[in-house]
Chains A and B, each alone.
Chain A
């Protein structure tokens, strides 16, 4: 459950001059695996995520989720957006239960789990607050809680902490580690932050730009459970040095 398979996938945006955003990408992600896509902006890592989310369609190649071709968005693949993308007219609670509500689930089936999730992300006392009254980090917690209420088989996260200040980012990374270690959902995580990729993932796919390709795959064998304390371990530093060297290699010139 939650397996992802990109086989020779390309994405071309048609226009006066065709833009090849992804070129011949193959990537498989196993059940419960945490994979980070690392690369500079414009390398197509978000496109990769959008294809899997079903927001955009593949131009060439095949993309399977749990053995089925992806053709539309759905609650089995929960997406966490960079700017949270909460509905500004709904309060925290209404945002969190939006998924089960529009799917027509019985109240008794989702209210209790949703309350627990809200507690887990530390927002129990903010049920009635509107998104605009929250800080960026809190908004992103709501964004995470609202996809978890749907019990997705995979979490697709598109630079979810990229817009946060350094301190908030650390606490969000810790929160994500805690949540993921208790759920074991498959995660595809897009980032341009090397530290973040090493800290969170089992495997890092380093991407290059124009056209977007996966140029290196680096397994991260840091012991689990991890915490933000891992950021200062010697093993961590060794990984970081290696990846920085790889990224130099990945540059076009």
Chain B
């Protein structure tokens, strides 16, 4: 799209060329449909091969169920009556909500702490000296290593899972926010100071908005880690959610539910990432237009 001509001519009288004509819109829509068609080819091929390779509804001597059985298991899990023999029947949505809620809470904590701390580390040498070494020291400890600590402190509780999620998402958010604040164009800061802005105003009205593209990169990476963290935490430290079902179903040999669960996690991760991208596009209109100029 580098050939887009949104740029206005130097003549002040020249009106801005309105961006999207109907013809261009339908062209874009056509391209979208074709891209979507190409995108589903690979997963479709995998499913067909997987189905064809099965004998009597499974592969590898009964270990791996075929897609049709996974589908049936998911339908029961999602829409089946609850309270019968099948412990999973009808519990899909509530487990999904449990997991999503934890991710939202933990991720929100990570943003609330990570963005301000990160921007301050990038902006202020004293803050950087005080916080950055500690962050860098703790960062290599994987969240899985925090599990015993979390259970010991918080017990088998929601808080423990939320703690792990927040911690996991915190690092990429803080590191990217700091990078964004460090990389703010020097002349933008100089321009603001020249116009009489205080250091605090510069931080709020120049450094923060200028860091937003990097901050969003951190948010996207952090969200991915938040999903990893919630599954790990639920497998061990709480008794609900997609992670709990995943491990539980494995124990009772319900690989069809395991795979339906995995796919659910994948879809949820994808959807939440898309939501961040949508928010990013809305907040960073100026940035999108910039990359349009090529």
User: A193 → chain B, closest Cβ, in Å?
Assistant: 19
Interface string of B198-215 (1 = CB under 8 A from A): 100100011001101000
Which residues of the other chain, A, contact B191 by a CB distance below 8 angstroms? Answer: 79, 81, 85-87
A135 contacts B7, C-beta separation under 8 Å:
yes
Inter-chain contact B192/A98, CB cutoff 8 Å = yes
B19 closest partner in A (C-beta): A133
- Cβ-based interface call for B188 (8 A): yes
Asked if A123 is at the interface (CB within 8 A of a chain B CB), the reply is yes
A87 to chain B, nearest CB (A): 6
A72: chain B residues within 8 A (beta carbon): 193
Q: Does B9 sit at the interface, judged by CB under 8 A?
A: yes
> Cβ of B190 < 8 Å from any Cβ of A?
yes
A89 to B212 Cα, complex, angstroms: 10
Partner of B10, one of A74, A75, A86, A135: A135
CA distance A150 to B195 in the complex (A): 8
What distance in Å separates the Cβ of A93 from its nearest Cβ neighbour in chain B?
Answer: 14
How long is the Cα–Cα vector from A126 to B6 in the complex, in angstroms? 14
Closest to B6 in A: A133
Q: Which residues, 116 to 162 on B, are CB-close (under 8 Å) to A?
A: none
Give the interface centre of A83, A89, A99, A135 by most chain B CB atoms within 10 Å.
A89
**Would A53 and B188 count as touching, CB distance under 8 A?**
no
Q: Is the CB of B192 within 8 A of A102?
A: yes
Q: Is A146 an interface residue (CB 8 A)?
A: yes
Do B12 and A138 have beta carbons less than 8 Å apart?
yes
- Cβ contact within 8 Å between A133 and B16: yes
A138–B206 CA distance with the chains assembled, in angstroms? 22
Residues from chain A with a CB closer than 8 A to the CB of B209 are 87, 89
Q: Does B289 contact A (CB under 8 A)?
A: yes
Give the Cβ gap from B210 to chain A, nearest Cβ, in Å.
Answer: 8
* Closest Cβ neighbor of A156 among chain B residues: B194
User: Which A residues contact B (CB, under 8 angstroms)?
Assistant: 53-55, 72-75, 77-79, 81, 83, 85-89, 98-99, 102-103, 122-123, 125-126, 129-138, 146-147, 150, 168, 171
- CB < 8 Å neighbour of B194 from A79, A89, A129, A171: A79
* Chain A to chain B: the 6 pairs with minimum beta-carbon distance, closest first: A99-B195, A122-B12, A85-B187, A73-B193, A75-B196, A102-B197
Q: Would you call B194 and A77 a contact (CB within 8 A)?
A: yes
Given pairs A55-B190, A125-B12, A136-B10, 12 additional interface contacts (CB within 8 A): A87-B206, A88-B286, A88-B290, A89-B284, A99-B196, A102-B197, A126-B12, A126-B16, A129-B16, A132-B290, A135-B7, A147-B194
| 20 CB < 8 A contacts A-B | A53-B190, A72-B193, A73-B190, A73-B194, A75-B194, A79-B190, A81-B187, A85-B187, A85-B190, A102-B192, A102-B201, A103-B195, A122-B12, A130-B285, A133-B289, A134-B7, A135-B7, A137-B10, A138-B10, A147-B194
Report the minimal beta-carbon distance from A48 to chain B, rounded to whole angstroms. Answer: 15
A89 engages B12 (CB within 8 Å): no
* Interfacial chain A residues near B13, Cβ < 8 Å: 125
Give the distance to chain A from B202, nearest Cβ to Cβ, in Å.
9
- Contact residues in A for B183 (Cβ distance below 8 Å): none
Total B residues in contact with A, Cβ cutoff 8 Å: 34
Min CB–CB distance A133 → chain B (angstroms) = 6
Are A129 and B195 closer than 8 Å at their CB atoms? no
- As a 0/1 sequence over residues 275 to 294 of chain B, the CB contacts with chain A under 8 angstroms (1 = contact) are 00000000011110110010
Q: How far is the CA of A98 from the CA of B191 in the complex (A)?
A: 10
Given that A85-B187, A88-B286 are known contacts, is A135 also in contact with B192, CB under 8 Å in the complex? no
Q: Does B8 contact A (CB under 8 A)?
A: yes
Distance, CA A110 to CA B236, complexed state (A): 61
| A123-B196 CB under 8 A given contacts A73-B190, A85-B185, A88-B290 | no
Q: Are A138 and B290 in contact (CB under 8 A)?
A: no
> Is there contact, CB below 8 Å, between B190 and A74?
no
**Inside 8 A of A131's CB, which chain B residues have their CB?**
286
Assuming the contacts A129-B8, A168-B10, asked whether A78 and B289 have C-beta atoms less than 8 A apart, the reply is no
Docked complex Cα distance between A81 and B284 (Å) = 24
- CB contact under 8 A between A150 and B196, given known A134-B8, A135-B10: yes
Q: How far is the CA of A102 from the CA of B206 in the complex (A)?
A: 11
> Which B residues lie within 8 Å of A133 (CB)?
6-8, 16, 289
- In the complex, what distance in Å separates the CA atom of A249 from the CA atom of B44? 76
Q: Which residues of B sit under 8 angstroms from A146, Cβ to Cβ?
A: 195
Please indicate the chain A residues that have their CB under 8 angstroms from the CB of B9 in the complex: 135
The minimal Cβ–Cβ distance linking A77 to chain B, given in whole angstroms, is 7
Residues on A with beta carbons closer than 8 Å to the beta carbon of B293? 132
A102 CA to B192 CA, complexed, in Å: 9
Cβ contact within 8 Å between B190 and A138: no
B9 to chain A, nearest CB (A): 6
In whole angstroms, what is the CA distance A135 to B16 when docked? 11
> Contact at A132–B286, with CB atoms within 8 Å?
yes
Assembly CA distance A239 to B72 (angstroms): 90
Residue-wise, chain B 1-39 has the 8 Å CB interface mask toward A (1 for contact) of 000001111101101100000000000000000000000
Residues in B neighbouring A54, C-beta threshold 8 A: 193-194
- Give chain B residues whose Cβ lies under 8 Å from the Cβ of A171: 10
